[in-house]
Every structure is written in C-alpha cells, then in structure tokens.
Chain A
Amino acid sequence: MSFEESPAASGPQIVDDVPAGGRPILDMRDVAITFTTGSGSLHAVRKADLTIMPGETVAIVGESGSGKSTTALAAIGLLPGNGRVSAGQILLDGEDVAHAPERRMIELRGNTIGMVPQDPMSNLNPVWRIGYQVRETLRANGRPDGPADVARVLAEAGLPDAQRRARQYPHEFSGGMRQRALIAIALSCSPKLLIADEPTSALDVTVQRRILDHLETMTSELGTSVLLITHDLGLAAERADKVVVMYRGRVVESGPSLELLRNPLHPYTQRLVAKAPSLASRRIQVAKEAGLESGELLTPSAEAVEKAAEKAEATTAEAIEAEEVPAAAVPEAPSDDVLVIEDLTKVFRLRTGLGRGTDFTAVDGVSFRVQRGTTTALVGESGSGKSTVAQMVLQLLAPTSGRIVFDGIDTAGLDRRQLFAFRRRVQPIFQDPYGSLDPMYNIYRTIEEPLRTHRIGDRATRELKVRELLDQVALPQSAMQRYPNELSGGQRQRVAVARALALDPEVIICDEAVSALDVLVQAQVLNLLAELQERLGLTYLFITHDLAVVRQIADHVCVMEKGRLVETGTTDRVFDSPEKDYTRALLDAIPGGKLLLPPEVL
C-alpha cells in the first residue's frame, strides 16, 4: 500500500483550506484509485480533481470504462472490495473520507451523502414493499419513520397517491416510478450531496426528462449539491453548472458547462462536443433557425460536400438501373418503395388461465413505406411495438393481419425456398453487441456463416469475401481469429454489420443498433452505416428510441405510440413542425434543447 501522497491517511481530519465562497461540499484532490486484480494492479483513476460547492450541480461525463462511476463510488466509500484510494484526498464537507473507517462512512451515508443508482429495475429489493424500503433508510439515519413520514418522502419525489403506493411492491411500479422511489430514498434524509449515477439511462426519453426536472426542483429546494454521472455531454451541459470530462481514468477537462461546450480545449472534449448526438441535433436546430440547410451541417467539411454530390449521382445511377429491370419483376411497385407495410397488426394472446386469455395488440394498423436507398426511422418508447414491427418485417414473427410487401412481393405467401431467398436480401443488426454474436464462433466463422448457409462460393472465395467485409467495416484482418469477448462493443457491432452485409442485402433492419454504444463509438458506427449506404445503395429501417440519432441519419421518420403510428413524415418536417403532442414531447425530451449553442461549435 502506498499512501505517500496522502498525508491524511489516518482517520478523519478537518482541513482548514477554505477557498472564497465557502467550503466545498466535495473536494477531490489528486485522487488515484487502484484495483487489485488477478493479473496485478489496475489504475482505474489517476489524478482526479473535482470540486463541488454547496448547492452546485456538477456532471462527470465520460465513456464506459473512463472511471466516472468509480470516482463517484470512492466519494461514498462504496468501492468494490478489490479497489482502494491509493493516493490523494477526498474531502467530504471538509472531512477526509478516502481512508475513513467503515463506521464513519455508515454515519455519513444517507445524512451527508446520498446516491441514486443507475438501474431502477435491480436496485429495489423485490421482496419488500416500497414503503418498508423507504422506512429502512429513515430509521437507519434516526429520522421519524412513521407511515406519514414515508408517504411524505414518496410524495415529495412526485409519486401520486403515496399512501397507497408505499404498500406496493417494486414489480407493481413502472421504471420511472421505481426511479422516483429511489430518488425519494436517496433524498429522504436531506443529504448535502447527492450522487446520481446515470439516473435515467434505463428509462424512456419522456420519462427521463420528467425525472430529471423533478430531481432538479427537489435538490434546488433542499439546497443539495448533485454529482451527476452521465455519458451524454448534452444532458450534462443542460443540467449541470460545471462539467468534468473524464477519459481513461483521467480528468481531461473541467469547467463551467457552457464554456466547455463552446470552447472545448482538450482534443477528447472537442471530439465529444462534435459527436454527441444530442448536441448535433441541437446544432442542426440552431442552424435551421439561422436559415441553414441541415445537410451542410451534418458533414461540414468540403470533403463531405463532395461526398454528398457523389451520393446524388449514385442515386440517380441507381434509379436508372432500377428502370432497366424488366417490368415483370416489379409488378406492383410503381414508385421505388422497396418495403411497403400495409395495415400491419399483431395481436399477442396473453394466457391468464387454462384455455383463457386476453388479447394484447402490440402493433395496431401500422402502414408506411420505405424508399430504396433511404433511411427510415421507426421511433417510439419501450412498449410502442416498434421492435415487433421489425420482427415481422424480418419474417421472424407472423403478423396477425396486414401485408408486408418487399420489392413488390407480398411476403405472406413465401414458401420455404422463397423465404430463404428473402433472408438474403433483408438482414438485421441488433441492439446488444454482446448478445448478437455467438461467443463460441470466432469473427471469421461469424461473418462466414451467412455465406456458408447460402452455399456461396468455396472456402477460398469465402475467405476472400470475409477479408473484404472486414475492410469495409474498418476492422483489421487480424481480427478474423478473435472471439467476440475480446472485442469492444463498437467492434462487435461492426462485426455484426459485416455479417449483415455478407449476403449483399438490399435492406438492413437496425434494431436499436447503436443504442448500447458509447457516444464516440456510436458516431463511428453511424458514419460507417452512412458510408455503406452511399457506396452500396443500402436501405435502412432504423428502429430506435433516440430522436437525436434519428435527426443525424434518417430521411423519414415514423413515430409510434402504444402500437399505433402517430406521425410520419420527412425528418425535417417532423422535427420542424411536429403535428402530434406525443412527437413534440419526444422532441422536447432530447437533452440539450435549452442550450444556446452556435450552429457550428468546431
């Protein structure tokens, strides 16, 4: 153990180093956090500096593995057993807690420092009533814990009918309500500092916004400081006074939010500012208000303008090609709609007992068209039926009624062999890059599988094709012998793209294909998809909940709510003048909407 840099290694100590404007509630100085693993020491965080003044909201922004959560956990003394603060000081309200005994930390938690965890689904104990879990916290901190107090705490967090709700179990709560309950628990003893670790990442966008708004109101009423941990720079800048950017365990830049956005100095921050979807979306909006075309903004370099011109050429060339196809091949597709969805309905039968059941309409009369060579985004929150539509388009699920017409052919009547041919032309990319690749297959076998399944080429030509595909998705050929667990999320997703491209499909269904990725990696994969579309004339059906991403890539938008299509139109139209309240709510929920940004930051 090396504490050479920490003079306060033994017990609590009050440091009388009070800067102007009062003592900071949390002051981290040169903190290093080390994990002891089987293969030696791992320096998860180095030289982290962080100051939070009373009543201030500070956000730590960074990608996964950047050490942002670890830093926050160190402040509340909840590092995993193999982690320790190996250098520096963590002053919580003037007291060094980096090496404080566990007993002291237990006293501090709840009263002085509270925490809202990331995943509301797993952070409430399913066997205890909500009220009991609130009371537990109150009692542990020596506060009055009668039923009325519990109800008051829950009501303050914005849970309606708190008396009754307190008697319910976590499974009876929706995700948003659970997160409110967790916020209620964290704030029940009015701590001076609240750590919120990605408090809304697991929630739908509209819920996300309401929760964050409420959290803001509550903490400003109580005068609580907030340490917000997020991966979204737009959200951080909107909610926090100060932003701290972490990269590979280091604080690379910190400063007032707007200052940081407008004038990022570190190359990593510059990259983040340039690529964060919420910010990009906001930039487009600002630019439009200033009378600029959105196309120019997405790719603001001269090279990009050239690309755009090429794209235009390519599409015309394709259109000509398409016309040359004998008319018999496309009997009922006069326009170039590669995919026509008509009145698609899916009813699931939920079993409630022997032979009985209730019908649940997951998709209700959905109709839309997808033009060849374009990107159509299907947007909605969880439970809106968007993924069910994707499954039906992929012929993995039979529709209850309605038609899916692919390239002029009704897919309902496909026999085995035709379906096999259909699969060659329509390929999926899934959300979870950790789940969509078989862990037992190396990358070569994964990408080769579609070729082998469709008996294309011999061994040698297949290997050539795999190499070519790896080049297309910008992965080195040395990746062929790797296994999925050795790749990062973005790399896996690129492998999934390569696999989807192996059969030279015409349509690719991306089911939340970039939602699980870090911001920069997300931008990289989106760029790759856009580039491939240009080069290969692909059509994308993009299923997503993230409107910020939609604005960056989609030509058309279909908004779904509870199984119904509520609004369709071109992306510009839907974003500029949404017709339905629901669409408007979704648009408002994009973080960063309140930010005043110049149209081009870089």
Chain B
Amino acid sequence: MKPERTEGHYVAPLEETALEATDTLRVEEAPLSLWADAWRKLRRRPLFIVSSIMILALIFIALFPGVFTQVPPNNECLLANSEAGPREGHPFGFTFQGCDLFSRVIHGTQASLSVGILAVLCVLVIGVTFGALAGYYGGWLDAVLARLGDIFFALPLILGALVITQLPFFRENKSVWTVVVVIAMLAWPQMARITRGAVIEVRNADFVTAARSLGVSRFGALMRHVLPNALAPVIVLATLELGVFIVTEATLSFLGIGVPESVMSWGHDIAAAQVSIRTNPMILIYPSIALSLCVLSFIMLGDALRDALDPKSRER
C-alpha cells in the first residue's frame, strides 16, 4: 500500500502520522540521577562485577585474616620447614625462614590495602583541594599551585621515596603511616592536575553563572555546582591510583624502605623469596599472584567506572 506518488502536493495519511503535543514529557521511566544512571550501567558490566567481588573479598581478607588461617605468619617459623612444599594445613608451603607462606600472603593483604586506601585518601584531600582552588580561582593562585605541583611531579616516585625515607624523621618512625605520607607527598600533583582540568571545564558552564546570578557565593558555587560535576574523572583516577599505590608499597617494601619488617607485606615476601627462586619458585609466585590480583581488580574497577561515568556516553 503505497501512497500515490505525484509531482504535486503530497500529504501523508493523517491516521499514520498523528500529531503529538509539542514537547511532551516522558514520564514512564524512573527518574535517573547521574549516579543512578552510572550504577544502572555498571551493574550490567562483567568487568565491574568481577572486580568488585574481588575487591570485597580482599577487604574481607584484610579485615578478618583469622577466618582463613590460624597459623601466625611471623612466629612458629621452624628452619626445619625451610622451603618445604605444601602439606596439610599449609597449602602454600613454607618460606626460606620456615614460616607458613599461606598465612603470610593472607596477612600481607592488610598492609597493602591499608597503605593503598590511606594514600589515596590523602592524595584526594590534597590533590582535590589544590586542584579545585587552582582551577576555579585561576590567576596567581593557579600559577603558584601549578609550579608547586610541577616540583613534586618532576621527582620520580621511587627516587623521591628513596630520598625522603632516608630523612631522619622517617627513618626513625618507620610505619605504615610513613609510607602513606611519602606516597601522598609524591603523588598528589597528578590528582591536582586532573581535578584542575575538570574544574576548569565546569567552571564556565552556564549553570554556574546561573547559580552566581541568583545569589550563590563564589565559593558556594564551587562546592555545590562545580565540584560535584568535576568528580567523575577524580573518582576514576582515585581507583586506578589505588592499584598503583599498592604496587608502590610493595616496591618500597621490596627495597627495604617500605613498611617495617614486623608488618606483613607482599613486598617483603617477594624480596625474601629471591634466595629461593631456583629451589622453590612457588615462594616467589604466591605473593606475586596476590599482588597482581589485587592491583588488577582495582584497575579493572577503574576502567569500568571510567566507562560508566563518562558524560559523553550518557544518553539524553
């Protein structure tokens, strides 16, 4: 059934092209905020599901290592067990010093996660504050903060950490906290840069001008409108950096300038396993796998978040 084709005036059959009221509001679906929208997208992504299950498991292990192993990681080390293979109650075998490897790997989770999370929190506080102020106010403040950031940015993380940990204060008070402080000191400029860029992008949006012209103060507009809209890339970066910081902690511990020997850390285990690499490589491989899985899960989560929070992928 084709309408007749003429060179003249054609009108579509009215019953097929009924006119709708101009600009009607669709109200069938539930209202969606940015976060609800992101959540809806996230929960269907395998990447997100897998990574968040892994992260929840890691957090559980870090909080309750006793559920998984009753063997203390540090004492009860018998040299007779040195580099012994797996056996009943000791699924991963023993280290060079004769300690239970499974217990060490389980207990090492705590140090890695706590350093990673605490360092990210510090970096967020410093980086977001500096970045937001620099990006929003601009001018000399921006110039000063940007140069300050550049100074730290120019220091390679490991080299910087080597130098800082040799300072007397850090050498004498070696703990999880010193590692956190060192990482935060060297890593905040990255976060500040990302925040600054995001804030600059939002700062000139019409809704900020609108808020200002209805009487919201300059700082109020930053807190209420600019920052919430600039947060998405910051969250993504924070998740990715969490993984990076966990590696950094392991690296520093590997080099002997990380957490003290008394604290279980995968970095220590990897360093200690060097002597056994020929005789029993599994001693090296178990903590390495633990470290890799932990970092991988955070990087995967970051990737999933980046896709979900990307404003360009949002449907109107």
Report the Cα distance A524→B210, complex, angstroms. 22
Q: Who on chain A is nearest to B215 by CB?
A: A423
Q: Contact: B215 with A488, CB < 8 Å? A: no
Q: Contact: A499 with B25, CB < 8 Å? A: no
In-complex Cβ contact of B314 among A256, A436, A449, A485 (8 A): A485
Contacts of B27 in A (CB 8 A): 476, 478-479, 482
Contacts of A427 in B (CB 8 A): 213-214
Nearest-CB distance from A404 to chain B (Å)? 14
- Which chain B residues numbered 198 to 239 have a C-beta less than 8 Å away from chain A? 205-207, 209-216, 220, 225, 228-229
- Which chain A residues numbered 420 to 445 have a C-beta less than 8 Å away from chain B? 420, 423-424, 426-428, 430-432, 435-440, 442
Q: Contact: B25 with A479, CB < 8 Å? A: yes
**Which applies to chain B's interface (DSSP): helix, strand, loop or mixed?**
loop
Q: Contact: B11 with A442, CB < 8 Å? A: no
Selecting from A260-268, A349-357, A360-368, A535-543, the interface stretch reads A260-268
Q: Contact: B11 with A483, CB < 8 Å? A: no
Q: Contact: B215 with A438, CB < 8 Å? A: no
Q: Would you give the 0/1 interface string for A493-520, flagging 1 where the beta carbon is closer than 8 Å to chain B?
A: 0001001001100000000000000001
- Which chain B residues numbered 10 to 42 have a C-beta less than 8 Å away from chain A? 10-12, 14, 16-17, 19-20, 22-23, 25-27, 29, 31-34, 37
Q: Contact: A428 with B215, CB < 8 Å? A: no
Q: Judge whether A450 is part of the interface by a CB distance below 8 angstroms.
A: yes
**Which applies to chain A's interface (DSSP): helix, strand, loop or mixed?**
mixed
Q: Contact: A491 with B23, CB < 8 Å? A: yes
Q: Who on chain B is nearest to A63 by CB?
A: B22
Please report the total number of A residues contacting B with Cβ < 8 Å. 66
Say whether, besides A265-B11, A436-B206, A476-B25, A483 and B214 are in contact (CB < 8 Å). Answer: no
Question: What is the total of A-B residue contacts with beta carbons within 8 Å?
Answer: 146
Nearest-CB distance from A512 to chain B (Å)? 11
Q: Contact: B23 with A521, CB < 8 Å? A: yes
Contacts of A259 in B (CB 8 A): 8-9
Report the Cα distance A98→B248, complex, angstroms. 57
Q: Contact: A438 with B19, CB < 8 Å? A: no
Q: Contact: B206 with A432, CB < 8 Å? A: yes
Q: Who on chain B is nearest to A27 by CB?
A: B5
Q: Contact: B31 with A486, CB < 8 Å? A: yes
Q: Contact: A266 with B211, CB < 8 Å? A: no
Q: Would you give the 0/1 interface string for A466-500, flagging 1 where the beta carbon is closer than 8 Å to chain B?
A: 00000000011011011101111011000010010
Q: What bracket does the count of chain B residues touching chain A fall in?
A: 35 or more
Q: Contact: A251 with B12, CB < 8 Å? A: yes
Contacts of B210 in A (CB 8 A): 428, 430, 436-437, 496, 499
Q: Judge whether B88 is part of the interface by a CB distance below 8 angstroms.
A: no
Q: Contact: A267 with B213, CB < 8 Å? A: no
Q: Contact: A483 with B34, CB < 8 Å? A: yes
Report the Cα distance A503→B2, complex, angstroms. 56
Report the Cα distance A442→B37, complex, angstroms. 13
Q: Judge whether B7 is part of the interface by a CB distance below 8 angstroms.
A: yes
Q: Judge whether B312 is part of the interface by a CB distance below 8 angstroms.
A: no
In-complex Cβ contact of A396 among B26, B213, B228 (8 A): B213
Q: Contact: B207 with A438, CB < 8 Å? A: yes
Given contacts A255-B10, A442-B31, 4 further A-B contacts (CB under 8 A): A251-B10, A265-B11, A453-B215, A486-B31
Closest 6 CB pairs of A and B: A255-B9, A436-B206, A435-B206, A423-B215, A481-B31, A450-B214
What would 27 A/B residue contacts be, using CB atoms closer than 8 Å? A29-B5, A51-B5, A247-B17, A251-B12, A253-B11, A253-B12, A255-B10, A256-B8, A266-B14, A435-B205, A436-B209, A440-B33, A440-B225, A440-B228, A450-B214, A453-B215, A453-B216, A476-B27, A479-B27, A483-B32, A485-B37, A485-B314, A485-B315, A486-B26, A488-B23, A491-B23, A520-B22
